Amino acid sequence: MFRKRFSAELKDLFNQILIIAHEMGILKLGTVSLDGTKVKANASKHQALSWQHACKIELQLQKEVEQLWLLADQADQALIPDGMKIPEELERREQRLATIADAKKKIEARAAERYEQEKQAHENKLAEREQKAKERGRKPGGKAPKPSEPGPKPHDQVNLTDEESRIMPTSGGGFMQAFNAQTCVDVDTMLIVATHVTQQPNDKQQIEPAIEILEQLPEQLGQVNEIIADAGYFSKSNVDACEDAGISPLIAVGRDKHNRNLEERLSKPEPLAEDADSVAKMKYRLKTPEGKAIYGVRKSTVEPVFGIIKSVLGYRQFMRRGLEDVDAEWTLVSLAWNLKRLHILAKPRPKTQVMAACKAKSRVQGCQLGLIWSNMRLIWFSIAKMNVKKGLGAFFAPSFSIVSPTGC
């Protein structure tokens, strides 16, 4: 109820917490680390209906409806099984057919949107291919990119519980009905400075939305000058978007192999060409000691935030449904993390002269009371020891009376 009632106010409250952190002298924007994590939706993946299965069930229900109408038209009621009520059976199947028809419309709309995106990407690839052919004076090698086909694919699906959630692959293998929660973390304080939730399982399209949110932050927080991201965010358009916003990108181009030899780790990058593009400049900086040190901070900033939120705070699933509502809920979770983090980062209050005098006086009085208590313990211990000795001596002392035989 609280999440639903105050969804509109959460963004402003989130920014107010950041302003308080800045006024406390804790937060000043500079370098941020961007990453995403899959958070389970309030829906089961088993409630997802694919295009292929929807067509199969729709055909089956249509045949059943025809059979029920034939039974209803027959005069001999003996052919109708016991307990069957044809009007109820027809109504149930018509409702399922309406649900399937609505789901198919949504799948078709998503397929049309995807086709437009793939068509634009295909045209861009063809343009790049032609540009390279002109520059080199010969046809580029390899096969030409194939155009995408319109219409839904057999495995396109929609969830009947939360239609705005998506089936997403998980890092440990398998799939999950989830949303992709994106987070920008300040590398110096590990405070979350920007969040948004997306339906895209891939992170490649999330740089520009993150930059837009960072640009909308209050001016007193400062300006973001560097953004760190893993290889899932790499593309030339993302690098150009960062530079257009005045942000220096440090986005991994690929995954480096483990246990590299000493020469590879200590080798210096080749000199940068004068006409190098934005991607070449970024690659060169990633190979410098400075760039390696900055990028190495990524795993120790944004990933621990996700780990603590999920494993310590126990937040692994959204309570609400719908993209807009889960976005507000993720903002609330991020706000709670910032409050928890501020409690740790808060500096102690400055000591005034009055506070110092009071603490000194209480320290002296405490020493005096401790000395009195020690003396009292010694006195009580001595008294108890004397009483114990006296009692034991009276108990064990022999008392004999010797009587003379003569009575003398």
At 184, which CATH number? 3.30.420.10
- Greatest CA span in the chain, whole angstroms? 151
- Segment 326-332 shows an average pLDDT of 94
Return the SS3 of 107: helix
Q: Give the chain's length.
A: 408
pLDDT of residue 17: 92
Q: Which residues pair with 226 in a beta bridge?
A: 31, 248
Residue 364 in this model has a pLDDT that exceeds 80: no
> pLDDT tens-digit profile of 291-314?
888 888 888 899 999 999 999 999
150 domain residue, yes or no: no
Q: Which domain holds residue 72?
A: 46-136
Q: Are strands 31-40 and 48-50 parallel, antiparallel or unpaired?
A: unpaired
pLDDT of residue 227: 94
Work out the end-to-end distance of the chain between its first and last CA atoms, rounded to an integer number of angstroms: 107
> Are 107 and 18 within one domain?
no
Q: How far is residue 276's CA from residue 324's CA, in Å, rounded to a whole number?
A: 41
More confident residue, 61 or 136: 61
- Which band of pLDDT confidence, cut at 50, 70 and 90, is reported for residue 403? very low
> Are 132 and 177 within one domain?
no
Residue 19 in this model has a pLDDT that exceeds 90: yes
> Are 199 and 314 within one domain?
yes
pLDDT of residue 76: 57
pLDDT of residue 394: 64
- Which band of pLDDT confidence, cut at 50, 70 and 90, is reported for residue 401? very low
Q: Which residues pair with 180 in a beta bridge?
A: 38, 198
> Are 29 and 75 within one domain?
no
For the chain, how many helices (H) and strands (E)?
12, 8
> pLDDT tens-digit profile of 269-294?
777 777 788 888 888 888 888 888 88
pLDDT of residue 408: 44
More confident residue, 313 or 131: 313
pLDDT of residue 353: 67
Q: Name every residue whose Cβ is closer than 8 Å to that of residue 326 and which is 6 or more positions away in sequence.
A: 39, 41, 179, 197, 318, 320
More confident residue, 6 or 336: 336
336 domain residue, yes or no: yes
More confident residue, 54 or 212: 212
pLDDT of residue 269: 73
Domains in the chain, number: 2
390 domain residue, yes or no: no
- Segment 177-203 shows an average pLDDT of 93
> Are 216 and 229 within one domain?
yes
Choose among 316, 320, 313: nearest CA to 2.
320
> Are 218 and 241 within one domain?
yes
> pLDDT tens-digit profile of 227-240?
999 988 998 889 99
- Segment 373-387 shows an average pLDDT of 74
> Are 223 and 279 within one domain?
yes
> Are 202 and 279 within one domain?
yes
Q: Which residues pair with 228 in a beta bridge?
A: 33, 250
More confident residue, 70 or 259: 70
294 domain residue, yes or no: yes
Q: Which two tokens stand for residue 20?
A: 């308080």
Residue 402 in this model has a pLDDT that exceeds 50: no
> Are 34 and 64 within one domain?
no
Name the packing angle between helices 323-345 and 10-23 (round to 10°).
20
> Are 213 and 102 within one domain?
no
Residue 205 in this model has a pLDDT that exceeds 70: yes
Q: How far is residue 63's CA from residue 61's CA, in Å, rounded to a whole number?
A: 5
Query: Of 305, 330, 345, which residue sits at a domain end?
Result: 345
pLDDT of residue 137: 78
> pLDDT tens-digit profile of 80-102?
677 778 788 888 888 888 988 88
pTM over 0.75: no
Q: Which two tokens stand for residue 83?
A: 């307990």
306 domain residue, yes or no: yes
- Which band of pLDDT confidence, cut at 50, 70 and 90, is reported for residue 404? very low
